[in-house]
Chain A
Amino acid sequence: MRLSPDEMIFWQYGLFKLNGTIVFTWALMVVLAVGSKLITRKLSTGLERSRWQSLLEIVVTGIEKQIEDVGLRHPERYIGFLGTLFLFVALASLCTIIPGYEPPTGSLSTTAALALCVLVAVPFFGIKEQGLGGYLKSYVEPTVIMLPFNIISELSRTLALAVRLFGNMMSGTMILAILLTITPFIFPIAMSVLGLLTGMVQAYIFSILAAVYIASATRVRKPTPEPDVKR
């Protein structure tokens, strides 16, 4: 009973193990990076647009609108980070259709790494928005007594992000594996469709939660007048 793609070893050299998690993560990275590079080689702003460019435009404007709805006022600053999170997790769970593929997010290492990225990104964007003093002051926001609780809530949010994604992905693949040994054909297909649905929902949840945490860190304490951005 394989608990995670960590245990699929493809190649080993002393201490350095090339396991399933690393290989599938690299494959996803190659698909995303090379695919986007190929599509954006000749961008057109006229009326004639290629199919792939339209697809990318749908994805990018959709994510931008979601980021704006959460409350971040300049989505172009955050879409690099948040869009990457969403696309990586979504593609990781979408590719479970391919036989022989195990989602790398089914390993606690990958989800912990993603959650640590969010943990670093929240103070980064907070300090960029409000300066070091302003951001640190938000930790003692209601009173100084709340300081340990704010720090604990930061750490537990990160842990919750990692475990939530890991638990959902791992349970999907494990239920599929168990069912394949019991019932042959129809039930595992239904469960894999359910696994796809939960994978996409979890990708959305992960990036929306990251956006909400960043929004709460960059929330302006004193309102500064800013002209409405006309689209």
Chain B
Amino acid sequence: MDSITLIAIASIVTAGLTIALGSIGPALGEGRAVATALSSLAQQPDSATTITRTLFVGLAMIESIAIYCFVVSMILIFANPFWNHIIAQAAGK
């Protein structure tokens, strides 16, 4: 297996695995966050605005982890430096 094929296979497989595994954790975390927020809203409906705002901020922080994994996966597919290098080498030959 020459290096071009190897780089392509590694990039594609890693991109898929990154986003697949990377979205499990944030999804579970966000589910717990929303569940706790709902139960505290049921207990204290008067502080709904504070709870909602804190919930959104917390969700954004948790979501960032999934976004990081997504960005890595996009880089591997669309802006892969190893792939560009090997293609430039193959084109130059």
Q: Which residues of A come within 8 Å of B, CB atoms?
A: 1, 3, 66, 69, 160, 163-164, 166-168, 170-171, 174, 201-202, 204-205, 208-209, 212
Contacts and interface: CB of A to CB of B under 8 A. Distances in A.
B56 A205 contact: yes
Given A1-B78, A3-B74, A3-B79, A164 B60 contact: yes
Given A167-B68, A208-B53, A208-B56, 4 more contacts: A163-B67, A167-B67, A174-B74, A201-B60
Contacts of A69: 49-50, 53
A69 B63 CA distance: 23
B71 interface: yes
Contacts, number: 43
B56 A201 contact: yes
B53 to A, nearest CB: 7
Interface of B: prevailing SS: helix
Interface in B52-93: 53, 56-57, 60-61, 63-64, 67-68, 70-71, 74, 78-79
Nearest to A198: B63
A156 B74 CA distance: 21
Interface string B38-58: 000000000001100100110
11 contacts: A163-B67, A163-B68, A163-B71, A164-B63, A164-B67, A171-B67, A202-B60, A204-B56, A205-B56, A205-B57, A208-B56
Q: Which of A66, A163, A164 has the most CB of B within 10 A?
A: A164
A171 B70 contact: yes
B57 A160 contact: no
Contact of A166 (B53, B56, B71, B78): B71
B60 A209 contact: yes
Contacts of B53: 66, 69, 208
B78 A212 contact: no
B78 A3 contact: yes
A148 to B, nearest CB: 22
A3 B60 CA distance: 23
Contacts of A163: 64, 67-68, 71
Given A204-B56, A205-B57, A209-B57, A160 B64 contact: yes
5 pairs of A and B residues whose beta carbons are closest in the complex: A167-B67, A205-B60, A164-B64, A167-B71, A160-B64
